[in-house]
Amino acid sequence: MVSKAKRKRSSSMESSGNSAVLQPVANAGFSLGNFKIPFALIIALAALAMTPRVQANEILFYSFAGAVLFLLTWFVYLFMQCQRSGEERSFELILRQQHYIQAMVQISVYSYWGYFWRPVYDHAWLIVGQILFAYTFDMLLAWSRRQKYTLGFGPFPIILSINLFLWFRDDWFYMQFLMIALGFMGKEYVRWQREGRNVHIFNPSAFALGLFSLVLILTNTTHLTWGQEIASTLTLAPNIYTFLFLIGLIVMYFFSITLVAGMAAISLFALSALYNATAGVPYFLDSEIPAAVFLGLHLLVTDPSTSPRTPLGKTLFGILYGFSVFALYTLLGALGAPTFYDKLLAVPILNLSVIAIDNAVRSIKSRELLNVWNDNWFGGKANLAHMSVWVFVFLLMSGLGKTDSKHTGDSLPFWQEACFSELPNACERLVQLESTYCADNSAWACNELGLQFREGIIVARDNAMARDYFAQSCELKFKAGCLNLLNDDLLAKEDPHELDLRLLLREGGLNLMENPLDELYDRACEHSWAFACENI
Amino acid sequence: MNRSESDLAGIGNKTEATAPSRTVGFTAMSIIIFFVAYWMSSQSSISSSVNSQMNSAESLPGFNKQAWLLPDDALLGFVEIPAGEFTMGSNPALDRMAYENERWSNLQRQGSVQLSSFYINRYEVTIAQFRQFVEDTGIAIDPAALQGDPSTPVSSITWPQAIAYTQWLEGKMRNSPQTPAPLMASLEAGAKISLPTEAEWEKAARTDDGRTFPWGSQPTSEFANFAGEGKRSVGFYACASCAFGLSDMAGNVWEMTRSPLQPYPYDAEDDDENLAEDALWVMRGGSYADTINNIRSAVRGGVDPGVRNNTIGFRVVISPH
């Protein structure tokens, strides 16, 4: 056991370092001392539970109440234990650039995305609640392990990163607190010695997201989360690729993650282009790289402490991420699981490989290869050189219309034609696209899906499923869907209605709800809808 | 043990604190993961058990628990409407309350429609009957639809949900020895269980004598639930003089049909036309919330197939398609 004297000596030694150290309050009578901070955080979390946003849903309220009760119990236990033993708990204030800059970048994403998809703003109070929970949990965990707590902005990027990819619906919000707890426990307990330092293996947010993603896939319970909506609504914000690219440059500049993010993006661009050239159809449905993946490769996979240290290692790490996402997209699709998990599942596995990657790179005997990214070649400014290459690649891709522009895969008639021509995966993509639009309340798409299941040509015949889709189409007033529902022998089809076109022509992110009908038909004609060309 | 193995195991970690140990941490993490996995996998079974808790298996007097809670009589509440011609639409000279959309054509006030024989249920579909369907299929509906006295007509359901009920009932009746022989014979001859067409509904409501209300042509509050405040149990109003002995063909809840709302003259053959139009289905009979003019047998209302309303329900027919 560490003696009190030793702990005091340790405390005074740490206070002489660069970090600001708050000294424990003298133990005179009853005083919470440094425990005031977690206590205040718990009170703040309890106060948040009283806000209308939390009170609006009973289970959400009980989730917050449960979190408060859990933290309070832990707090009282730890406090009493310290009182009995005379031990003190302390923290040091360290404001790390990678935490607050990353957090600011993430907040800018929420602000921009939320402006075009309001549920993000509605979720803001719940993010605040998670941050309060995370600080308290992390602090109590460190103090339970008799460690000094490092107070800074650390929990911000973890919580903001988790919520950029997955959040549970109000009725299951207690799972969100468990996911956060798991992330912080993973950071505290799942560690290894790396280059002489005891560091966590996994990116905390990616670890929690990866594990929960796996459970959600295996239990087929994705519908308990907003995962699918989060992945698909990012593109509602106009020019989202350019926006993510620009904020990505900030992160790249400060934290030298250009090799990881840039190589991951370049790999995905290259693989998509290769697939398109050989198969004749785009690999991803609505872009060369889905916007959520583009976000992930800037803000999820680039944690410097869980990625390789060597330049060539970072390059390999980025390429591996690109290949993993590419492979997982097909694998998840083949398993019938939602494909948006592709960007989440790869990260923990890659985190496990960083030592191996660094060791492999260091075992290379070729000096030329090892020095390929040598800092000296760029006058000591290698990162700026890497960023220049990335800027060039992004501008090139944008110039070729591979980022924010219209994408071939956005056109439903293209996939219908491709399916008819029996191009690889085209029919699966068509059904996937129709499913997405049906979920977005396109009555036409629901009727088309129903017809697919009734005909049984490109999917297995399933009349019960067909009826479900016809019912959905009918509830959206699509007369053909109603007639198909009435008569099992009918295959009634009809061109998309006005509201359908406003959904089907969004090209991923456009809001066409207010556009004049003429403009809508022009756009539909550009998308190869023959009936629209006749209406111009 | 090589370097990487010891790295992963954390051996040689000089900064590792003593308590709670890494074992405690891993145990806690494992518990969280297993709890989450178990809890999530149980979500679907929880919803099933909620459904089974709803399975009250009500035994209502006059309804057969063994036969999907349909009326407990020889034909499970179905009444045969004989084949033949009847007069459809309104003649404003005889019915001052007639609306414009009840006129047959520019040249003709009323029309004549020939129908084959069919069966129609004496009562509107009740909450208890619909609940059996919901429990059996797990269909997602507005919970409000199942609230209230189980012997009152179901409402707050959409048109596709009403159709789904008829399809479910047909599946059950085709495969059950409980189905009375005449009904089974009709089904085997190609008839289907569905919503009535508006012509079937109107004929069942006013026979071939062109009466204004199911009981005759004089307004009365004696035989119908209208201008009131809520639904009443089906069959609450005894009406021996009503056409074919059917109950609640006027008032209680509007009844959805399988005919699209389009101008007269009525022609079942053109129901599949005009697919570009938004779907709107005819509903008949008025509801507890309507005044006397809206519970006339010729009144034609329109219902959006996505609408759920407490004043709208349905009854079923077995008819040739």
Looking at beta carbons, which residues of chain A come within 8 Å of B268? Answer: none
Q: What percent of chain B has pLDDT over 70?
A: 88
Cβ of A215 within 8 Å of Cβ of B40? The answer is yes
The answer on pLDDT for B284 being more than 80 is yes
Whose tokens are 């529902």? That residue is: A485
pLDDT digits (tens, 9 = 90+) for A429-448: 899 889 988 988 999 999 99
Cβ of B32 within 8 Å of Cβ of A191? The answer is no
The answer on pLDDT for A6 being more than 60 is no
* Residue range A286-298: mean pLDDT, rounded: 86
pLDDT given for residue B52 in this prediction: 41
What is the interface pTM, i.e. ipTM, of the complex?
A: 0.85
Please give, rounded to a whole number of angstroms, the shortest distance from the CA of B147 to a CA of chain A.
Answer: 21
Cβ of A181 within 8 Å of Cβ of B272? The answer is no
Distance CA B139, CA B160 (A): 11
The answer on pLDDT for A10 being more than 80 is no
* Residue range A360-389: mean pLDDT, rounded: 73
* Residue range B193-220: mean pLDDT, rounded: 94
pLDDT given for residue B287 in this prediction: 97
The answer on pLDDT for B48 being more than 50 is no
Distance CA B259, CA B272 (A): 10
Looking at beta carbons, which residues of chain A come within 8 Å of B161? Answer: 471
The answer on pLDDT for B65 being more than 70 is yes
> What six digits make up the tokens of A412?
């439903």
Disruptive mutation site among B6, B14, B36, B136 for chain A (greatest number of A CBs within 10 Å): B36
Looking at beta carbons, which residues of chain A come within 8 Å of B19? Answer: 144-146
Q: Is A139 contained in some domain?
A: no
Cβ of B33 within 8 Å of Cβ of A478? The answer is no
- The number of beta carbons lying within 10 Å of the beta carbon of residue B73 is 14
Last residue of one domain, picked from the residues A380, A405, A430: A405
pLDDT given for residue A369 in this prediction: 64
Q: Is A458 contained in some domain?
A: yes
Cβ of B160 within 8 Å of Cβ of A470? The answer is yes
> What six digits make up the tokens of B27?
């145990």
Region at B250 (left for phi over 0; alpha for psi -120 to 50; beta for the rest): beta
pLDDT digits (tens, 9 = 90+) for A315-331: 999 999 999 999 999 89
Cβ of A475 within 8 Å of Cβ of B158? The answer is yes
Q: Is A92 contained in some domain?
A: no
Q: Is A79 contained in some domain?
A: no
Closest residue on chain B to A358 (Cα): B4
Q: Specify the 3-state DSSP secondary structure of A26.
A: coil
Please give, rounded to a whole number of angstroms, the shortest distance from the CA of A464 to a CA of chain B.
Answer: 10
Last residue of one domain, picked from the residues A379, A405, A431: A405
Disruptive mutation site among B15, B18, B167, B275 for chain A (greatest number of A CBs within 10 Å): B275
Q: Which residues, including other chains, have CB under 8 Å from residue B283's CB and lie 6 or more apart?
A: B254, B255, B256, B257, B301, B302, B303, B312
Q: Which of A330-334, A378-382, B295-299 has the highest mean pLDDT?
A: B295-299
The answer on pLDDT for B78 being more than 70 is yes
One domain, residues A270 and A295: yes
* Residue range B95-119: mean pLDDT, rounded: 93
Looking at beta carbons, which residues of chain A come within 8 Å of B158? Answer: 475
* The 3-state secondary structure of chain B, one letter per residue: CCHHHHHHHCCCCCCCCCCCCHHHHHHHHHHHHHHHHHHHHCHHHHHHHHHHHHCCCCCCCCEEHHHCCEECCCCCCEEEECCEEEEECCCCCCCCCCCHHHCCCCCCCCEEEEECCEEEECCCCEHHHHHHHHHHHCCCCCHHHHCCCCCCECCCCCHHHHHHHHHHHHHHHHCCCCCCHHHHHHHHCCEEEECCCHHHHHHHHHCCCCCCECCECCCCCCCCECCCCCCCCCCCCCCCCCHHHCCCCCECCEEEEEEECCCCCCCHHHCCCCCCCECCEEEECCCCCCCHHHHCCCCCEEECCCCCCCCEECCCEEEEC
> What six digits make up the tokens of A205?
């947010």
Cβ of B33 within 8 Å of Cβ of A215? The answer is yes
One domain, residues A296 and A342: yes
Please give, rounded to a whole number of angstroms, the shortest distance from the CA of B134 to a CA of chain A.
Answer: 14
Closest residue on chain B to A474 (Cα): B305
User: What confidence tier does A20 reach under pLDDT thresholds 50, 70, 90?
Assistant: very low
pLDDT given for residue A18 in this prediction: 39
One domain, residues A463 and A323: no
User: What confidence tier does A366 reach under pLDDT thresholds 50, 70, 90?
Assistant: low
pLDDT given for residue A381 in this prediction: 77
pLDDT digits (tens, 9 = 90+) for A461-518: 999 999 999 999 999 999 999 999 999 999 999 999 999 998 888 776 667 888 888 8
Cβ of B13 within 8 Å of Cβ of A182? The answer is no
Disruptive mutation site among A1, A3, A87, A486 for chain B (greatest number of B CBs within 10 Å): A486
Q: Is A108 contained in some domain?
A: no
Cβ of B40 within 8 Å of Cβ of A481? The answer is no
Q: What percent of chain A has pLDDT over 90?
A: 56
The answer on pLDDT for A370 being more than 80 is no
What total of structural domains would you count in chain A? Answer: 2
- Residue with the larger pLDDT of the pair B33 and A304: B33
One domain, residues A253 and A341: yes
One domain, residues A311 and A368: yes
Q: What percent of chain A has pLDDT over 70?
A: 91
Cβ of B32 within 8 Å of Cβ of A475? The answer is no
Report H helices in A407-516. Answer: 412-420, 426-439, 443-455, 463-475, 479-486, 498-504
Looking at beta carbons, which residues of chain B come within 8 Å of A145? Answer: 17, 19-20
Disruptive mutation site among A145, A187, A469, A495 for chain B (greatest number of B CBs within 10 Å): A145
User: What confidence tier does B15 reach under pLDDT thresholds 50, 70, 90?
Assistant: very low
The answer on pLDDT for A17 being more than 70 is no
Range of the domain at A503: 408-535
Please give, rounded to a whole number of angstroms, the shortest distance from the CA of A255 to a CA of chain B.
Answer: 26
Query: At A200, which helix (H) or strand (E)?
Result: strand A197-200
- The domains located in chain B, with CATH, are 62-320 (3.90.1580.10)
Please give, rounded to a whole number of angstroms, the shortest distance from the CA of A434 to a CA of chain B.
Answer: 20
Distance CA A347, CA A296 (A): 10
pLDDT digits (tens, 9 = 90+) for A102-122: 999 999 999 999 998 899 999
One domain, residues A279 and A368: yes
Q: What is the CATH number of the domain that holds A420?
A: 1.25.40
Closest residue on chain A to B20 (Cα): A145
Looking at beta carbons, which residues of chain B come within 8 Å of A194? Answer: 7
Report H helices in A145-257. Answer: 155-163, 174-189, 204-218, 227-233, 240-255
Q: Is A49 contained in some domain?
A: no
* Residue range B102-131: mean pLDDT, rounded: 95
What is the average pLDDT value for chain A, to the nearest integer?
87
Cβ of B272 within 8 Å of Cβ of A212? The answer is no
pLDDT digits (tens, 9 = 90+) for A31-62: 788 899 999 999 999 999 999 999 999 999 99
One domain, residues A280 and A302: yes
pLDDT digits (tens, 9 = 90+) for A125-164: 999 999 999 999 999 999 998 889 999 999 999 999 999 9
pLDDT given for residue A485 in this prediction: 96
Q: Is A528 contained in some domain?
A: yes
pLDDT given for residue A33 in this prediction: 84
One domain, residues A527 and A426: yes
What is the average pLDDT value for chain B, to the nearest integer?
87
One domain, residues A322 and A375: yes
Please give, rounded to a whole number of angstroms, the shortest distance from the CA of B115 to a CA of chain A.
Answer: 19
Q: Which of A357-361, A504-508, B113-117 has the highest mean pLDDT?
A: B113-117
pLDDT given for residue A380 in this prediction: 66
pLDDT given for residue B303 in this prediction: 96
User: What confidence tier does B2 reach under pLDDT thresholds 50, 70, 90?
Assistant: very low
User: What confidence tier does A265 reach under pLDDT thresholds 50, 70, 90?
Assistant: very high
Last residue of one domain, picked from the residues A387, A405, A423: A405
Cβ of A482 within 8 Å of Cβ of B279? The answer is yes
pLDDT given for residue B187 in this prediction: 96
pLDDT given for residue B19 in this prediction: 53
Distance CA A174, CA A206 (A): 19
One domain, residues A450 and A390: no
One domain, residues A247 and A369: yes
The answer on pLDDT for B46 being more than 70 is no
* Residue range B295-317: mean pLDDT, rounded: 96
Cβ of A477 within 8 Å of Cβ of B279? The answer is yes
User: What confidence tier does B20 reach under pLDDT thresholds 50, 70, 90?
Assistant: low
One domain, residues A416 and A366: no
* Residue range B289-316: mean pLDDT, rounded: 96
pLDDT given for residue A450 in this prediction: 97
pLDDT digits (tens, 9 = 90+) for A196-240: 888 899 999 999 999 999 999 999 888 899 998 888 788 888 889
Q: Give the one of B37, B271, B306 whose C-beta lies nearest to A215's C-beta.
A: B37
